[in-house]
Amino acid sequence: MIACFDTSAIVPLLVEEPTSARCELAWRSAARVHVAAVTIAETAAALAQAMRMGRIDARGLDDALRGAERLWARCSISPLSAELARRAAVLAVEHGLRGFDAVHCATGLVMRDVGGVGVAGDRALLDAWRAAGMPVIDITR
């Protein structure tokens, strides 16, 4: 399986969350993991927020950021081209997605035709993928 992870499925691989076990299972089950390039920035922002909220300390942040670099080395990373951004814009309007969720959606749909499976916990993103006929793994279930 080609697993298309969004940020909500990456962060639990780096810090303990209720969905960590499901994310780890999806990661291990994938022959290949595909992410949108924006996932890199979103993950760093989410980890920094976890530190600001007291969920992890400075060392935990450093460890998680190093862990993220190891993950990226094992991922296929899709750049945000003008064409992909335009597709994301259409998906944002059609499905009421936030900007980066629309980018994750468009990125996943590129992989749908080659066996891609969307992996996320964001309800709107999962619903958009399903509406487009993409199989999904809902990390919250």
Alpha-carbon gap, residue 19 to 140, rounded angstroms: 6
Q: Which residue has the tokens 């969350």?
A: 17
Phi and psi angles of residue 35, each rounded to the nearest 5 degrees, phi first: -135, 155
User: Nearest 5°: phi and psi at 28?
Assistant: -65, -30
Count the domains in the chain: 1
SS3 1: coil
pLDDT digits (tens, 9 = 90+) for 3-39: 999 999 999 999 999 999 999 999 999 999 999 999 9
pLDDT computed for residue 95 by the predictor? 98
Is the Cβ–Cβ distance between 28 and 5 less than 8 Å?
A: no
Helix (H, G, I), strand (E, B) or coil at 34: strand
pLDDT in tens, 37-86: 999 999 999 999 999 999 999 999 999 999 999 999 999 999 999 999 99
Rounded to 10°, the helix 99-112/38-52 angle is 140
CA–CA separation, 6 and 20 (whole Å): 14
pLDDT given for residue 113 in this prediction:
86
Is residue 62 part of an annotated ligand binding site? no
**Distance between CA atoms of residues 84 and 88, nearest Å:** 6
51's tokens: 């530190």
- What's the pLDDT at 6? 98
Model pLDDT, residue 34: 97
Q: In this predicted structure, what is the pLDDT of residue 54?
A: 97
Q: Are 33 and 1 in contact (CB under 8 A)?
A: no
> So what's the pLDDT on residue 76?
97
pLDDT digits (tens, 9 = 90+) for 94-124: 999 999 999 999 999 999 989 999 999 999 9
**Which residues span the domain enclosing 130?**
2-138
Q: Is 101 annotated as a binding residue?
A: yes
Q: Kindly report the CATH number assigned to the domain that includes residue 86.
A: 3.40.50.1010
